[in-house]
Structure 1
Amino acid sequence: MDFAQADALNQAIRLLSLRHRARAAALIAPLGLHPGQEALLLELDRTGPRIQAQLSEALGVEPPSVTLMARKLEASGHIRRSPAPSDRRASIVELTDSGRELAERVKEVWRGLAEETVAGLPAAAAAEIPGLLAAMTANVAPRRTGPGRARAADSGG
Protein backbone atom coordinates (compact mmCIF):
# COMPACT_ATOMS: atom_id res chain seq x y z
CA MET A 1 0.00 0.00 0.00
CA ASP A 2 1.41 3.39 -0.90
CA PHE A 3 1.50 6.30 1.57
CA ALA A 4 -1.45 8.16 0.04
CA GLN A 5 -3.71 5.12 0.41
CA ALA A 6 -2.39 4.40 3.92
CA ASP A 7 -2.90 8.02 4.95
CA ALA A 8 -6.45 8.08 3.57
CA LEU A 9 -7.31 4.85 5.39
CA ASN A 10 -5.79 5.93 8.71
CA GLN A 11 -7.41 9.38 8.55
CA ALA A 12 -10.82 7.89 7.73
CA ILE A 13 -10.62 5.47 10.67
CA ARG A 14 -9.43 8.21 13.03
CA LEU A 15 -12.16 10.64 11.97
CA LEU A 16 -14.91 8.01 12.14
CA SER A 17 -13.75 6.97 15.61
CA LEU A 18 -13.69 10.56 16.90
CA ARG A 19 -17.06 11.50 15.40
CA HIS A 20 -18.75 8.26 16.46
CA ARG A 21 -17.53 8.62 20.04
CA ALA A 22 -18.62 12.27 20.18
CA ARG A 23 -22.04 11.48 18.69
CA ALA A 24 -22.51 8.54 21.09
CA ALA A 25 -21.57 10.79 24.03
CA ALA A 26 -24.13 13.38 22.92
CA LEU A 27 -26.85 10.75 22.57
CA ILE A 28 -26.28 9.03 25.93
CA ALA A 29 -25.80 12.24 27.94
CA PRO A 30 -29.58 12.83 28.26
CA LEU A 31 -29.76 9.36 29.84
CA GLY A 32 -27.31 10.51 32.52
CA LEU A 33 -24.46 8.39 31.13
CA HIS A 34 -20.86 9.10 30.26
CA PRO A 35 -18.96 7.34 27.44
CA GLY A 36 -18.16 3.76 28.34
CA GLN A 37 -20.97 3.38 30.85
CA GLU A 38 -23.40 2.39 28.12
CA ALA A 39 -21.07 -0.41 27.04
CA LEU A 40 -20.90 -1.72 30.61
CA LEU A 41 -24.70 -1.69 30.90
CA LEU A 42 -25.11 -3.46 27.57
CA GLU A 43 -22.51 -6.08 28.50
CA LEU A 44 -24.34 -6.86 31.75
CA ASP A 45 -27.65 -6.94 29.89
CA ARG A 46 -26.17 -9.37 27.35
CA THR A 47 -24.36 -11.68 29.80
CA GLY A 48 -25.89 -11.27 33.25
CA PRO A 49 -23.84 -10.72 36.40
CA ARG A 50 -20.07 -10.59 35.88
CA ILE A 51 -16.95 -10.17 37.96
CA GLN A 52 -15.37 -6.76 37.36
CA ALA A 53 -12.24 -8.38 35.87
CA GLN A 54 -14.46 -10.15 33.31
CA LEU A 55 -16.10 -6.84 32.45
CA SER A 56 -12.69 -5.25 31.99
CA GLU A 57 -11.69 -7.99 29.56
CA ALA A 58 -15.01 -7.94 27.67
CA LEU A 59 -15.00 -4.14 27.31
CA GLY A 60 -11.31 -3.92 26.44
CA VAL A 61 -10.58 -1.39 29.19
CA GLU A 62 -8.31 -1.37 32.21
CA PRO A 63 -9.74 -2.60 35.56
CA PRO A 64 -9.59 0.87 37.20
CA SER A 65 -11.85 2.20 34.42
CA VAL A 66 -14.44 -0.51 35.16
CA THR A 67 -14.18 0.23 38.89
CA LEU A 68 -14.85 3.93 38.29
CA MET A 69 -17.77 3.25 35.93
CA ALA A 70 -19.21 0.70 38.34
CA ARG A 71 -19.00 3.13 41.27
CA LYS A 72 -20.86 5.80 39.33
CA LEU A 73 -23.51 3.41 38.04
CA GLU A 74 -23.94 1.93 41.52
CA ALA A 75 -24.34 5.42 43.02
CA SER A 76 -27.10 6.14 40.50
CA GLY A 77 -28.84 2.86 41.34
CA HIS A 78 -28.34 1.14 37.97
CA ILE A 79 -26.05 -1.66 39.12
CA ARG A 80 -25.36 -3.55 42.31
CA ARG A 81 -21.93 -4.84 43.38
CA SER A 82 -21.37 -7.62 45.87
CA PRO A 83 -18.35 -9.66 46.94
CA ALA A 84 -17.76 -12.80 44.89
CA PRO A 85 -18.37 -15.90 47.04
CA SER A 86 -15.19 -17.58 45.78
CA ASP A 87 -12.95 -14.50 46.17
CA ARG A 88 -13.99 -11.75 48.56
CA ARG A 89 -11.54 -9.36 46.85
CA ALA A 90 -13.50 -9.65 43.59
CA SER A 91 -16.82 -7.88 43.02
CA ILE A 92 -19.76 -9.30 41.12
CA VAL A 93 -21.62 -6.63 39.18
CA GLU A 94 -25.27 -6.98 38.16
CA LEU A 95 -28.01 -4.78 36.81
CA THR A 96 -30.78 -3.52 39.04
CA ASP A 97 -34.32 -3.07 37.72
CA SER A 98 -33.49 0.55 36.91
CA GLY A 99 -30.31 -0.63 35.16
CA ARG A 100 -32.31 -3.05 32.99
CA GLU A 101 -34.70 -0.24 32.06
CA LEU A 102 -31.77 2.03 31.25
CA ALA A 103 -30.13 -0.71 29.15
CA GLU A 104 -33.32 -0.89 27.06
CA ARG A 105 -33.16 2.87 26.48
CA VAL A 106 -29.47 2.57 25.56
CA LYS A 107 -30.38 -0.14 23.01
CA GLU A 108 -32.79 2.31 21.35
CA VAL A 109 -30.07 4.97 21.20
CA TRP A 110 -27.54 2.42 19.91
CA ARG A 111 -29.89 1.28 17.12
CA GLY A 112 -30.43 4.89 16.09
CA LEU A 113 -26.70 5.62 16.12
CA ALA A 114 -25.98 2.56 13.98
CA GLU A 115 -28.67 3.52 11.48
CA GLU A 116 -27.35 7.09 11.38
CA THR A 117 -23.79 5.82 10.87
CA VAL A 118 -24.60 3.63 7.85
CA ALA A 119 -27.26 5.89 6.33
CA GLY A 120 -27.00 5.94 2.56
CA LEU A 121 -24.95 2.74 2.33
CA PRO A 122 -26.33 -0.29 0.52
CA ALA A 123 -27.74 -2.84 3.01
CA ALA A 124 -25.23 -5.47 1.83
CA ALA A 125 -22.29 -3.12 2.48
CA ALA A 126 -23.67 -2.16 5.92
CA ALA A 127 -24.04 -5.85 6.80
CA GLU A 128 -20.35 -6.48 6.03
CA ILE A 129 -19.04 -3.64 8.21
CA PRO A 130 -19.06 -5.42 11.61
CA GLY A 131 -16.98 -8.31 10.26
CA LEU A 132 -14.56 -5.98 8.51
CA LEU A 133 -14.12 -3.82 11.59
CA ALA A 134 -13.67 -6.89 13.82
CA ALA A 135 -10.89 -8.13 11.53
CA MET A 136 -9.26 -4.68 11.51
CA THR A 137 -9.53 -4.46 15.30
CA ALA A 138 -7.87 -7.86 15.68
CA ASN A 139 -5.07 -6.67 13.40
CA VAL A 140 -4.19 -3.83 15.75
CA ALA A 141 -4.83 -5.61 19.06
CA PRO A 142 -2.15 -5.03 21.69
CA ARG A 143 0.74 -7.45 21.30
CA ARG A 144 2.01 -9.20 24.40
CA THR A 145 5.64 -8.44 25.20
CA GLY A 146 5.80 -10.74 28.21
CA PRO A 147 3.55 -12.55 30.64
CA GLY A 148 0.49 -10.34 31.10
CA ARG A 149 2.13 -7.21 29.71
CA ALA A 150 0.59 -5.35 26.79
CA ARG A 151 2.71 -3.15 24.56
CA ALA A 152 -0.07 -0.74 23.70
CA ALA A 153 -1.79 1.30 26.40
CA ASP A 154 -5.55 1.11 26.78
CA SER A 155 -7.46 4.35 26.50
CA GLY A 156 -10.88 3.06 27.58
CA GLY A 157 -13.02 5.13 29.89
Structure 2
Amino acid sequence: MDQTYAGALNQAIRLLSLRHRTRAAQLLGPLGLHPGQEALLLEIDRTGPRNQAQLSEALGCEPPSVTLMTRKLEAAGHIERTPDPTDKRASIVALTASGQALADRITELWVTLAEETVRGLPADLLERLPGVLQTMSTNVSGKSAD
Protein backbone atom coordinates (compact mmCIF):
# COMPACT_ATOMS: atom_id res chain seq x y z
CA MET A 1 0.00 0.00 0.00
CA ASP A 2 1.43 3.39 -0.88
CA GLN A 3 1.74 6.24 1.60
CA THR A 4 -0.81 8.47 -0.13
CA TYR A 5 -3.53 5.81 -0.03
CA ALA A 6 -2.64 4.85 3.56
CA GLY A 7 -2.86 8.48 4.63
CA ALA A 8 -6.19 9.00 2.90
CA LEU A 9 -7.62 5.79 4.38
CA ASN A 10 -6.47 6.56 7.92
CA GLN A 11 -7.76 10.14 7.68
CA ALA A 12 -11.17 8.95 6.44
CA ILE A 13 -11.47 6.43 9.28
CA ARG A 14 -10.41 9.03 11.85
CA LEU A 15 -12.91 11.60 10.58
CA LEU A 16 -15.72 9.05 10.40
CA SER A 17 -15.04 7.99 13.98
CA LEU A 18 -14.96 11.57 15.27
CA ARG A 19 -18.03 12.68 13.35
CA HIS A 20 -20.01 9.55 14.27
CA ARG A 21 -19.24 10.08 17.96
CA THR A 22 -20.15 13.77 17.72
CA ARG A 23 -23.47 12.99 16.03
CA ALA A 24 -24.16 10.25 18.58
CA ALA A 25 -23.54 12.78 21.36
CA GLN A 26 -26.00 15.18 19.71
CA LEU A 27 -28.66 12.47 19.61
CA LEU A 28 -27.97 11.23 23.15
CA GLY A 29 -27.73 14.64 24.80
CA PRO A 30 -31.49 15.29 24.97
CA LEU A 31 -31.83 11.92 26.72
CA GLY A 32 -29.34 12.99 29.38
CA LEU A 33 -26.72 10.49 28.18
CA HIS A 34 -23.08 10.72 27.17
CA PRO A 35 -21.48 8.51 24.49
CA GLY A 36 -20.65 5.12 25.96
CA GLN A 37 -23.55 5.04 28.37
CA GLU A 38 -25.92 3.99 25.59
CA ALA A 39 -23.72 0.99 24.79
CA LEU A 40 -23.97 -0.20 28.39
CA LEU A 41 -27.76 0.17 28.40
CA LEU A 42 -28.11 -1.58 25.04
CA GLU A 43 -25.82 -4.42 26.15
CA ILE A 44 -27.95 -5.09 29.23
CA ASP A 45 -31.09 -4.80 27.10
CA ARG A 46 -29.66 -7.33 24.64
CA THR A 47 -28.27 -9.85 27.13
CA GLY A 48 -30.13 -9.28 30.38
CA PRO A 49 -28.53 -8.50 33.75
CA ARG A 50 -24.75 -8.88 33.84
CA ASN A 51 -21.99 -8.29 36.32
CA GLN A 52 -19.72 -5.33 35.78
CA ALA A 53 -16.77 -7.48 34.69
CA GLN A 54 -18.90 -9.05 31.96
CA LEU A 55 -20.05 -5.61 30.86
CA SER A 56 -16.47 -4.38 30.75
CA GLU A 57 -15.47 -7.30 28.52
CA ALA A 58 -18.51 -6.94 26.25
CA LEU A 59 -18.03 -3.20 25.84
CA GLY A 60 -14.26 -3.40 25.38
CA CYS A 61 -13.56 -0.84 28.09
CA GLU A 62 -11.76 -0.79 31.40
CA PRO A 63 -13.62 -1.82 34.59
CA PRO A 64 -13.28 1.67 36.17
CA SER A 65 -15.12 3.13 33.15
CA VAL A 66 -17.98 0.68 33.66
CA THR A 67 -18.06 1.48 37.36
CA LEU A 68 -18.34 5.20 36.63
CA MET A 69 -21.05 4.67 34.01
CA THR A 70 -23.07 2.38 36.27
CA ARG A 71 -22.89 4.87 39.15
CA LYS A 72 -24.20 7.67 36.93
CA LEU A 73 -26.90 5.54 35.33
CA GLU A 74 -27.98 4.21 38.73
CA ALA A 75 -28.19 7.76 40.14
CA ALA A 76 -30.40 8.67 37.17
CA GLY A 77 -32.64 5.69 37.90
CA HIS A 78 -31.93 3.78 34.67
CA ILE A 79 -30.21 0.76 36.19
CA GLU A 80 -30.03 -1.00 39.50
CA ARG A 81 -27.07 -2.80 40.98
CA THR A 82 -27.48 -5.73 43.32
CA PRO A 83 -24.85 -7.93 44.95
CA ASP A 84 -23.72 -10.86 42.81
CA PRO A 85 -24.72 -14.01 44.73
CA THR A 86 -21.70 -15.89 43.35
CA ASP A 87 -19.08 -13.17 44.00
CA LYS A 88 -19.34 -10.91 47.04
CA ARG A 89 -17.04 -8.34 45.39
CA ALA A 90 -19.21 -7.97 42.28
CA SER A 91 -22.53 -6.37 41.39
CA ILE A 92 -25.20 -7.46 38.96
CA VAL A 93 -26.45 -4.63 36.77
CA ALA A 94 -30.04 -4.66 35.48
CA LEU A 95 -32.26 -2.17 33.70
CA THR A 96 -35.06 -0.46 35.58
CA ALA A 97 -38.34 0.38 33.83
CA SER A 98 -36.84 3.80 33.07
CA GLY A 99 -33.72 2.14 31.66
CA GLN A 100 -35.78 -0.16 29.47
CA ALA A 101 -37.72 2.78 28.05
CA LEU A 102 -34.45 4.60 27.46
CA ALA A 103 -32.91 1.56 25.72
CA ASP A 104 -35.95 1.44 23.42
CA ARG A 105 -35.49 5.13 22.58
CA ILE A 106 -31.75 4.66 21.98
CA THR A 107 -32.51 1.81 19.59
CA GLU A 108 -34.71 4.17 17.57
CA LEU A 109 -31.99 6.83 17.55
CA TRP A 110 -29.41 4.29 16.42
CA VAL A 111 -31.54 3.53 13.36
CA THR A 112 -31.53 7.25 12.59
CA LEU A 113 -27.76 7.46 13.06
CA ALA A 114 -27.15 4.41 10.88
CA GLU A 115 -29.40 5.77 8.13
CA GLU A 116 -27.60 9.13 8.23
CA THR A 117 -24.20 7.43 8.18
CA VAL A 118 -24.80 5.24 5.13
CA ARG A 119 -27.02 7.61 3.14
CA GLY A 120 -26.15 7.48 -0.55
CA LEU A 121 -24.20 4.22 -0.45
CA PRO A 122 -25.13 1.52 -2.99
CA ALA A 123 -27.22 -1.43 -1.75
CA ASP A 124 -24.54 -4.05 -2.54
CA LEU A 125 -22.04 -2.16 -0.37
CA LEU A 126 -24.59 -1.81 2.45
CA GLU A 127 -24.98 -5.59 2.54
CA ARG A 128 -21.21 -6.11 2.92
CA LEU A 129 -20.45 -3.10 5.10
CA PRO A 130 -21.02 -4.59 8.59
CA GLY A 131 -18.71 -7.50 7.78
CA VAL A 132 -16.05 -5.22 6.31
CA LEU A 133 -16.15 -2.93 9.33
CA GLN A 134 -16.02 -5.90 11.72
CA THR A 135 -12.95 -7.25 9.92
CA MET A 136 -11.30 -3.83 10.12
CA SER A 137 -12.11 -3.61 13.83
CA THR A 138 -10.66 -7.07 14.43
CA ASN A 139 -7.55 -6.17 12.45
CA VAL A 140 -6.93 -3.04 14.51
CA SER A 141 -7.54 -4.89 17.80
CA GLY A 142 -4.64 -7.22 17.03
CA LYS A 143 -6.85 -10.24 17.67
CA SER A 144 -7.21 -13.12 15.27
CA ALA A 145 -10.38 -13.26 13.17
CA ASP A 146 -10.82 -16.91 14.15
Q: What residue number does 2:113 align with?
A: 113
Paired with 1:24 and 1:126, the residues of 2 have a C-alpha distance of: 20
Q: Is the counterpart of residue 19 in structure 1 residue 30 in structure 2?
A: no
How far off its partner does 1:127 sit? 2.1
The residue correspondences of 1:3-14 to structure 2 (distance < 5 A) are 3-14=3-14
Which aligned segments of 4 or more residues in structure 1 are displaced greater than 3 angstroms?
A: none
Match of 1:65, as an amino acid?
S
Paired with 2:80 and 2:69, the residues of 1 have a C-alpha distance of: 12
When normalised by structure 2's length, the TM-score is 0.96
Q: What residue number does 2:56 align with?
A: 56
Q: What residue number does 2:127 align with?
A: 127
Paired with 2:98 and 2:123, the residues of 1 have a C-alpha distance of: 35
Higher helix share: 2
Paired with 1:81 and 1:56, the residues of 2 have a C-alpha distance of: 15
Q: Structure 2, unaligned stretches of length 5 or more? A: none
How far off its partner does 1:130 sit? 1.1
Q: Structure 1, unaligned stretches of length 5 or more? A: 144-157
How far off its partner does 1:132 sit? 0.6
- 1:93-116 C-alpha deviation (Å, 9 max, x unpaired): 000011000000000100000000
Paired with 1:32 and 1:123, the residues of 2 have a C-alpha distance of: 34
When normalised by structure 1's length, the TM-score is 0.89
- 1:3-38 C-alpha deviation (Å, 9 max, x unpaired): 001001100000000000000001000011011000
Match of 1:32, as an amino acid?
G
Paired with 1:133 and 1:38, the residues of 2 have a C-alpha distance of: 20
- Number of equivalent positions: 143
Match of 1:5, as an amino acid?
Y
Paired with 1:127 and 1:45, the residues of 2 have a C-alpha distance of: 25
Paired with 1:55 and 1:124, the residues of 2 have a C-alpha distance of: 34
Instruction: Output the aligned Cα RMSD.
Output: 0.9
Higher relative contact order (CA 8 A, sep 6+): 1
Paired with 1:33 and 1:66, the residues of 2 have a C-alpha distance of: 14
Q: Is the counterpart of residue 136 in structure 1 residue 131 in structure 2?
A: no
How far off its partner does 1:118 sit? 0.2
Paired with 1:41 and 1:142, the residues of 2 have a C-alpha distance of: 27
